[in-house]
């Protein structure tokens, strides 16, 4: 790959093929050579998979050395056997990487309800020897793809340090605590508490602001590993850099949403508070009628009004105070003539559509990210086989 | 129409063309010759249209004589002008029917954000003279269609009385208090309080159990008019008859959902209480991944598990207690082999798919109705013009 994604100092790893479904890479391991702090967030699904359960335990003390991810099989709803398999994958990967099992985060993505082909898994991991070679994060990002059409990586410099993120996800995406899978690696030095606070703030404004189809995965996981090899950094600058990297990944995921043709950004302003802005913005970005209107490049602001209106618990929303714009074209409440609608339609023909809604209540604001709803989403999901 | 829908005693009316969009019938008026009791429920949208506002006032005292409905234009988000238009339509229709304006329910459905062509509306209503001819409820049902592919009517006898309902609705349907538009007429005699209690119980189990696309209209309205001409009826029998009529209409609406090929019925049992059963069932029937799986006749029970799992606030749901069936084919927790999945796929090829989920907590139960998500929904809604 010509644009190789920068790898922070001290991260080693490997990607390869277990043979779960086809000959493409379907797993990777990334480990830090030295101890690292972590912050991690996981799905809130009641059907959370055993990999999530194992990872929650591994990350609980704020110290983790590595991540192993297997694609093409989610190992979810697989009963006690699936739980044993998740523990074994964690151990196999940790052994291969030369670290303790309880310092390895484990993640799985793919079809629900099928046991792992453990013979193949064992063969693949036992073929690895520590120390692993320097990490290749482009290949790692590619190895965790399912119906993704492209690997998703982003990187930034902060002081003398690097922060790099890789992510995957295209459908079953309305993260509740995290997205499908997103891993961040940095050689910046931060104490555990600061790292955790920064990471959670960033996740709230990025992955938790994303919805492809309002369906929440059983496997959502996001974590950052910080090994400190580049020394201390300014916390504010680090948060800004991490936010930038995470936002890039979120925009890639939205643009690559199953069947998506357009990225939708809903900027909600004038709300009672940020939480209200987020609730209403999510309702707009998830509305099938708004999503299909964007697909058709139709400036159907009435559907945006409908979506705002269906937040019936938000009794301080009054139609006469609301303002709706597509890009910089106001469509409501100013009566929009044909010329205005024509300008809005031209704007909506582009690949990114910003819908601005001001509720006219106070100063709360929140921006969320999603994509249009197309025939492609139907095709992918009506044909995707159990 | 050969199968003419029965009209209860004492209901007169007319349907015709205002010319709002095309030469098809686009309005109807139905009135009772004698005073009638009513119970009515309306959308909870914060963008509720002025027709809903007027109708709430008209129905508030439990006495209403008639209903006027205009299709092809929702008269929503049209400002003070739209409010004045709704009042004028109410007055024009009441004058034509020979009843007081404040005893006329008014409803509108169609595109949002365009003012009524009031010259045409006035011409149409001033051409009518009281008393109106006997009502034709088939023609009335057809006159309020938008993207409906067929008029929706249902009727039942209870004692010496008749109860008939007509409805419309295909998209923007997850009624919060009512469906798009559903009108019930009966000559049964019931006191106001009984009528109201019965109607609300029936609506809760029928229209409030329906979701086409999780989008809530700004115009949802449902009402019953009972004029008593057939004398008293047994309340229990009446509720059963009304429930049957309402459920038939709901199933027609779900089957005719925009682009729909299949009716989906989600039967949630074993919940903590009926309210929890309803919340989780709605989450399943609204999941785009469940809806596309049904479209593809794919017994992808993992997506049902995912949808149950995303109800993350329901902390008493535990995967090991959940049971998932398609028709009578159990797919979880019993490991489903190829033969079982094949049987489930055959069942799902039919036009009605029942998904049963038992949460294994207690005895709460609720059944909801929806439809699959198809390329047709995308085409209809990406092309439907503002």
What is the number of alpha carbons within 13 Å of residue A266 lying toward its C-beta? 34
How far apart are alpha carbons B72 and B60 in whole angstroms? 27
Q: Which residue has the tokens 């595109």?
A: B111
Instruction: Annotate A197-222 with DSSP letters as a single string.
Output: HHHHHHHHHTGGGB-SSSPPPS--EE
Chain A residues with CB inside 8 Å of B214's CB? 214, 286-288
Would the annotation count B168 as a binding residue? yes
Residue A91, token pair as written in the block: 């151990």
Picking from B149, B168, B142, B111, the residue whose alpha carbon sits closest to that of residue B28 is: B142
For the stretch A95-152, pLDDT in tens is 999 999 999 999 998 888 889 999 999 999 999 999 999 999 999 999 998 878 889 8
Residues pairing with B161 in the sheet: B158
For the stretch A42-98, pLDDT in tens is 888 888 889 999 999 999 999 999 999 999 888 888 889 999 999 999 999 999 999
Q: Greater confidence, B347 or B170?
A: B347
For the stretch B5-42, pLDDT in tens is 999 999 999 999 999 989 999 999 999 999 999 998 88
What does the longest C-alpha to C-alpha distance in chain A come to?
68
Would the annotation count B146 as a binding residue? yes
- Assign A384 a pLDDT band (cuts: 50, 70, 90): low
Enter the ipTM. Answer: 0.80
Percent of chain B with pLDDT over 90: 66
- Assign B290 a pLDDT band (cuts: 50, 70, 90): very high
Chain A residues with CB inside 8 Å of B300's CB? 384-386
Residues of B acting as catalytic residues: 179
**Closest CA in chain A for residue B305:** A47
Q: How far is CA A285 from CA A147, A357, A373, in A?
A: 22, 11, 11
Q: Beta-carbon neighbour count of residue A114 at 10 Å?
A: 19
Q: Beta-carbon neighbour count of residue A256 at 10 Å?
A: 22
Residue B186, token pair as written in the block: 């009966």
Residue B83, token pair as written in the block: 């409010």
Residue B313, token pair as written in the block: 């606030």
How far apart are alpha carbons A37 and A59 in whole angstroms? 9
Distance from the Cα of B39 to chain A's closest Cα (Å) equals 21
**Closest CA in chain A for residue B380:** A292
Distance from the Cα of A300 to chain B's closest Cα (Å) equals 5
> Between B113, B296, B318, which is nearest A302 by CB?
B113
CB-based contact A302 B77, cutoff 8 Å: yes
pTM of structure: 0.83
Per DSSP, which regions of A227-326 are E strands?
263-271, 323-326
Chain B residues with CB inside 8 Å of A217's CB? 306
Chain A residues with CB inside 8 Å of B76's CB? 302, 305
> Between A47, A310, A381, which is nearest B45 by CB?
A310
Residue A35, token pair as written in the block: 């101890």
In this predicted structure, the answer to whether residue B361 has a pLDDT above a threshold of 90 is: yes
CB-based contact A306 B216, cutoff 8 Å: yes
Residues pairing with A339 in the sheet: none
> Between B172, B307, B374, which is nearest A215 by CB?
B307
In this predicted structure, the answer to whether residue A2 has a pLDDT above a threshold of 70 is: no
Would the annotation count B193 as a binding residue? no
> Between B301, B314, B386, which is nearest A302 by CB?
B386
């Amino acid at each position: 790959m010509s644009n190789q994604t920068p790898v922070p100092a001290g991260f080693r790893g490997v990607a390869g093929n277990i043979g779960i479904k086809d000959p493409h890479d379907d797993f990777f391991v990334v480990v830090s050579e030295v101890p690292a702090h972590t912050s991690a967030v996981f799905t809130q699904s009641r059907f959370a998979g055993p990999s999530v359960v194992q990872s929650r335990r591994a990350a609980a003390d704020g110290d983790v050395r590595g991540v192993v991810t297997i694609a093409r099989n989610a190992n979810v709803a697989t009963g006690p056997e699936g739980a044993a398999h998740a523990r074994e994958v964690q151990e196999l990967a940790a052994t291969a990487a030369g670290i303790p099992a309880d310092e390895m985060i484990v993640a799985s993505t793919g079809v629900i309800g099928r046991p792992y082909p453990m013979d193949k898994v064992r063969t693949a991991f036992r073929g690895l020897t520590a120390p692993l070679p320097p990490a290749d994060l482009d290949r790692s990002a590619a190895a965790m793809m399912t119906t993704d059409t492209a690997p998703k990586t982003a990187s930034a410099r902060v002081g003398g340090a690097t922060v790099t993120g890789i992510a995957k996800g295209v459908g079953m995406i309305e993260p509740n605590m995290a997205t499908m899978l997103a891993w961040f690696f940095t050689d910046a030095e931060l104490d555990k508490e600061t790292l955790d606070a920064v990471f959670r703030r960033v996740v709230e404004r990025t992955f938790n602001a994303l919805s492809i189809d309002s369906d929440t995965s059983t496997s959502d996981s996001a974590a950052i590993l910080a090994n400190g090899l580049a020394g201390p950094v300014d916390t504010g600058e680090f948060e800004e850099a991490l936010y930038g990297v995470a936002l890039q990944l979120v925009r890639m995921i939205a643009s690559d949403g199953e069947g998506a043709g357009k990225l939708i950004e809903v900027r909600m302003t004038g709300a009672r508070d940020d939480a209200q802005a987020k609730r209403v913005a999510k309702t707009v970005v998830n509305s099938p009628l708004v999503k299909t209107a964007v697909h058709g490049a139709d400036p159907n602001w009435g559907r945006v009004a409908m979506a705002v209106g269906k937040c019936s618990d938000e009794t301080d929303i009054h139609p006469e105070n609301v303002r709706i714009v597509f890009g910089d074209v106001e469509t409501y409440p100013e009566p929009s003539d044909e010329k205005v609608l024509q300008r809005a339609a031209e704007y909506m023909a582009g690949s990114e559509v910003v819908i601005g809604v001001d509720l006219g209540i106070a100063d709360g604001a929140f921006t969320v990210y999603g994509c249009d709803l197309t025939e492609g989403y139907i095709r992918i999901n009506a044909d995707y086989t159990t």
